[in-house]
Every structure is written in C-alpha cells, then in structure tokens.
Amino acid sequence: MVMIGDKRSHHMNNSPYVIRNYRPGDYGALVHLAAEMGKGERTSGSTQSQDLIETLGRPHHSPESNLFVAEKAGDIIGCTDLTVELSIERVVLSCLVHPEYRGRGCAAKLMDRAIGRARELKVGRVHVNIPEDNLGARKLLAKMGFRCVRHFLELELDLSWPQGPMGGVSPRCRHLKIGEEDTLVHIQNRSFADTWGFNPNTVEEIAYRLCLPNRGPEDVILAYDGDAVVGYCWTRIYAGRDKVRRDDKGRIYMLGVDPDHRGKGIGKEVLLAGLSYLRSKGLGIIELTVDSKNEPALALYRSAGFQARMRSLWYEKALG
C-alpha cells in the first residue's frame, strides 16, 4: 500500500475514490494521515494525530457509525468525524482531507455523508469550526447551506518575555486529585451552563481525558472559597513531559468560575496559577481559544498579556 505523502502514479491520481464507514483496521492509516497533514507545524501539527487518537477512544463514540473515510486505490485520503451531542441537539463535524486531494469534491462528499448521518440521529443542527483563513472551506460550507454564526479568537502568550510578576499561587488554589472527577464535572458544568455551544460533561468523559497520555489530574487547578470549589483552570501540555523545549506550546484548555462567585478576582487567580504551572514545566508559549463575545474573559486574558493570533469561525446548518 502506498503511504500518504508518497508520489502516486497517474493511474492512482485518476482512479475513483469511495466514501465508507470507518473500520478498526483503518486506525493506523488515519493517524498517519493526521501526522502527514501536520508536518512542519511543531505544535498544532503534532496535535492533529493526538486529537484524532483521543477522538477515536472517547466514551460513547462509535467510529464505525459516526466516522467516515475517503479511500482511493487502497489509501485513506480523508475522513470526517461526528461528535454527537444529543443533550443540546447538535452534531459537530470535523473533516480532514490530504492536501493533494483538496478541491476535487472529496470534502463535499465526506460532509454530505456526515450530514446524512446527522439527519438519522434526528439532531436539529450541525456545527463546523474552521480557521478564518481557510477560504476553500468557507466557500464549500456556504455552498452546502451553512452560515457563519460565531467568531472565536486564538490567543497566545509568550512566557519567555517579561510579563510583569506572575506572583505565587494563591493559597486557595490547589491541583485536582485522583478520584475528584465529579468535583471537576460540577464546577465545569456550572461555569459554562450559560455559554454558547457548551455540551454538559460527564464523570466518565472527564476521567477519560485525565487518563490520556501526557495528561493527569495535576493539570487541573481548583480555586476554593472556604470548602466550596468556585473556579478551575485546566491546562494542557502537548509535548511529552520529559521532552519539553522552550519553543513547545502549552494551552489553557478551559477556565471557568462559578456564576455566583464572579467579579471577585477568582478568574485571575486561577489563570495565574495555571500559567505558573505551565511555566514550571519549561514551556515558553501558551495558547487558548475564547469566544469573541465573551468580553469578561477577553479582558482577563489581555490583562495577563495574551494577544490575538488568528480567528476561527463556527458554521451552522439547521436540519429542520
């Protein structure tokens, strides 16, 4: 079998491709596809394959039913995955197509198949998130009846430059411990209950993510008011923990404050605690994603020195 990225014969480039359901034997080829697409991008590229691996194993996900691949001459050249969120009646689609086959209708056929599956699930809407500069995807989504409904900002902080005193970790902050998954679920669901697009989490889902390679409960910092958890900062380290370099990137994965305790500086405390933790691991660049309409969060991150790097767009298609 010719591996993705190798030169292909004229016959193979012009042979038909098929869209079909995922099979367990496709696992290695899909991971290879994601890795190939991320070549040359130290952090975001390397996480393509990590994210795909995590997606395939997440609780209640059925790849055989909700993941489709495009196959050509024995090679997998693209895929689309459905994240099913029945509690908020939506499906989130993600799509990968090898650059060699973009603009040839492959993405459209993958998306058509995925939208058909979403209709079978009887959800009300389909969402897709893409970088703002992906003009091809924007054109395709508009043609398929999607409309842009939300802008998110990708922010970045360079910890290698002086940002003012980070300060010590607040005495009311501590790391999550094994067995406290329900505590994290509670504060997360309370913090994000009123935000756009949030799907309530479960203990099973949280436990799964905390047990993934290069993840752990110590990546989550809890903020307390007395005995009550009132905020949290969930960080992520992309590189192997024993191989971190100054140009590696970390992420503020999620940060939330209980609605009843906002406006008291808790968000800033737990953010600084998260940044101190990431800095202690030797990371130089920290990223995060925030809704452009979340003005309090934007003000907090900008006060810590984060700057906008790019925008991503959320598209929606109502299924009627």
pLDDT averaged over consecutive 10-residue blocks of the chain (320 residues)? 32 70 92 75 54 84 95 92 95 92 90 97 97 94 97 92 55 93 98 94 95 92 96 87 67 97 95 93 92 96 95 95
Model pLDDT, residue 248? 77
Domain end position, chosen among 104, 123, 142: 123
Separation CA 159–CA 35 (nearest Å): 27
Domain co-membership, 166 together with 282: yes
Domain co-membership, 281 together with 224: yes
Domain co-membership, 193 together with 110: no
Our count of domains for the chain comes to 2
How high does pLDDT run on average in the chain?
87
Q: Half-sphere exposure of residue 36, counting CA atoms within 13 Å on the CB side?
A: 18
Domain end position, chosen among 83, 102, 123: 123
Model pLDDT, residue 52? 79
Domain co-membership, 87 together with 37: yes
Separation CA 168–CA 177 (nearest Å): 20
Domain co-membership, 228 together with 307: yes
Domain co-membership, 180 together with 108: no
Domain end position, chosen among 72, 107, 123: 123
Residue 137 maps to a domain: no
Domain co-membership, 74 together with 176: no
Domain co-membership, 113 together with 160: no
* Closest to 224 in 3D by CA, of 279, 177, 277, 187: 187
**CATH no. for residue 59?**
3.40.630.30
- CA-to-CA dists, residue 192 to 54, 170, 258, 259, 279, angstroms: 22, 23, 9, 9, 26
Domain co-membership, 168 together with 284: yes
Residue 40 maps to a domain: yes
Separation CA 37–CA 44 (nearest Å): 10
* Closest to 312 in 3D by CA, of 155, 197, 139: 155
| Residue 233 near residue 273, CB atoms below 8 Å | yes
Residue 50 maps to a domain: yes
**pLDDT by residue (tens digit) across 74-132?**
899 999 999 999 999 999 999 999 988 888 889 999 999 999 999 999 999 999 999 99
Residue with tokens 């959320």: 314
Residue 242 maps to a domain: yes
Instruction: Specify which residues 82 forms β-bridges with.
Output: 93
Domain co-membership, 51 together with 167: no
Backbone dihedral region for residue 165 (phi beyond 0: left; psi -120 to 50: alpha; all else: beta)? beta
Domain co-membership, 285 together with 165: yes
**Range(s) of the domain holding residue 15:** 10-123
pTM: 0.87
Residue 1 maps to a domain: no
Q: What is the 3-state secondary structure (H, E, C) of 103-123?
A: CCCHHHHHHHHHHHHHHHCCC
Separation CA 63–CA 51 (nearest Å): 14
Domain co-membership, 114 together with 161: no
| Residue 79 near residue 17, CB atoms below 8 Å | no
Kind of pairing, strands 90-97 and 125-131?
parallel
Q: Where are the beta strands (DSSP E) in 181-306?
A: 220-225, 228-237, 249-257, 285-291
| Residue 132 near residue 274, CB atoms below 8 Å | no
